[in-house]
Every structure is written in C-alpha cells, then in structure tokens.
Structure 1
C-alpha cells in the first residue's frame, strides 16, 4: 500500500538543471529536484506546480510526467514519486527556509551530495525518456537495490498527473 504520494520537478535551462539543497526535513543537506508531498485530492501536476512556487518562487508549466518510482524505506514507508521535466518557467529561483537553489551543468551533477538512487534514473530525465521502477533504501537512506526501466509511456498507476 502506498503511504505517501510525492512529486519531483527538474527544471532545465541551457544544458543546466536547477537543483535545490534541502535545508530541513527529508533529504536535509542533499541536492535534489524541486518537489514534495501531494496534498489530499491534489493531482501530481498541481502539487509539482505548487512546490516549485513554494520552494524557490518560480511558476512552472508542466506537460505529462516522465517517470514514476515506488520507493520502499524502512523508516518512512512507501512513497510513489511522480517525476516531471520542464524548460518552461517564469521567475528567478530564490532560496528560502526550505531550500537553496542552484543551477548545475548536466555534465557535472553533484551525485555525491544527492540521494544514492539518483544515478539509477536521473539520466532518463536528462534525455527526455519515460521510465518506471522501484527503489529500496535502507534505514540510513542508502540504495539497497532498484529496478528502473525505460518505457514507451507511463502506465496508469492509479494516480492522475
């Protein structure tokens, strides 16, 4: 059973991707895409737009999601994360009390300061490929195993984008 629905958004500009260093909560100190939990009765797309505005002050335009990953974590339970990519946004990213944004070249991503599992699937986002899979993490947030597959389109997993 899925405990938490969440989203990640990767904003691209001129071969760079906007990442945010989390200043608190899950992922504190790590670079990641923008995003967070979906509110009750909120679609993944609505949550993604809201999170980008709340975290770094930009308004994004999103198409359909590129990926979905089911995360299994012994401490925080099961999360289904819907992943978006966009090049369309308005505003200048700014930091706040949740996150400090920074643009990174896609060739020089800070993988050592990101979640371990990002190496398994972030290349799909960079290349505009659809993907699905599952990730198992241990209690210290380290990758135990994963099954990530490129797919022609996302399957309907019961969640509306």
Structure 2
C-alpha cells in the first residue's frame, strides 16, 4: 500500500542581499517542537501544488500562486517502527507570494538566513538534502528512521 502523500514549501525572500527561508516551530502532531516548513497532507483528489497553496495559507497566512511554486523533488520517509508515520513528501520552493507571515494553530513562523538554518532543530534528514535544495538543487531520496523515530538509520536510495 502506498504511503500517504504530503507536501512542504520552503518560502524564500531576499533581505539586505541575503536569502532567508521561512520555517516554523511545529506546535503539535508529527514533528512537534521541531522547525519545519509549511506543508501537510494532500486531500483526496488534490494535487501536490494545490495542497501546498492551501497549507501555506492555512499555516502561515500567505497567498501563493500555483505558477510561483518550484517543484524540487520527492522524499520517501519510512518509519518501520511506526508505519503510520511513513509518507511521501513533495518538496517545493516559492519566492513569490502575497501577505505577511502569521502564526497559526500549526506553526510559529520565523525567518532564518539560508546559510544559518538551524538544522539541529529540524528532522534528522534535513542536513542531508535541505541546504542543496535551498541553493537551487533537487532531492529524490528515501530515508529510513530508527526505533527512536528521530534518527536516520539508513539514507535510502534515490526515489524513482
């Protein structure tokens, strides 16, 4: 059975000659307490792009146009010790939106310099791919998490 599909959107802006990314402290649920980008589960029949637009507005109050989303790849997350957490994540970057970020029941948003992202406050896999994506690259990977549900024990193969 395929894993549930989710999306994540890394919003980027330039300030004083430096690029920044919008992350937020997850308030509850999977990943509570960690820094994450806005995103969430795809609803039945919803495209990854449509889900991304909806989730960004729900979680941080920004309005994104579909044409502004840059598709950057797919990541399979596998949790053998808690299969319900396994998921397939569509990764997007966006540099154009309307509004100012605001907090929600899901996230407390905060801007971070791209070259100073606190990867140690994110999921363990982020250090293996996020800097490359924020620099303009792509990711097509799978990651297997250990029994502690926090540590990558097997950086999986590229995703087909």
Output the CA distance in 2 between the equivalents of 1:44 and 1:139.
29
* Gap runs ≥5 in structure 1: 150-154
Aligned: 1:65 with 2:74: no
Q: How far apart are 1:64 and its partner, in Å? A: 4.3
Question: Who is 1:116 aligned against?
Answer: 124
Q: Is the 8 A contact 2:61 2:102 kept in 1?
A: yes
* Gap runs ≥5 in structure 2: none
Question: Who is 1:25 aligned against?
Answer: 29
- The secondary structure found in structure 1 opposite 2:71 is coil
Q: How far apart are 1:130 and its partner, in Å? A: 2.0
Aligned: 1:130 with 2:134: no
Match of 1:53 among 54, 57, 66: 57
Please tell me the root mean square deviation across aligned C-alpha atoms, in Å.
1.6
Q: How far apart are 1:22 and its partner, in Å? A: 0.4
Instruction: Give the structure-2-normalised TM-score.
Output: 0.88
Question: Who is 2:10 aligned against?
Answer: 10
Output the CA distance in 2 between the equivalents of 1:2 and 1:84.
21
Q: Is the 8 A contact 1:136 1:146 kept in 2?
A: yes
The total of aligned residue pairs comes to: 151
Output the CA distance in 2 between the equivalents of 1:139 and 1:40.
30
Output the CA distance in 2 between the equivalents of 1:131 and 1:111.
17
Aligned: 1:88 with 2:92: no
Deviations 1:92-134 (A, max 9, x none): 0000111100000011111111000000110221121122011
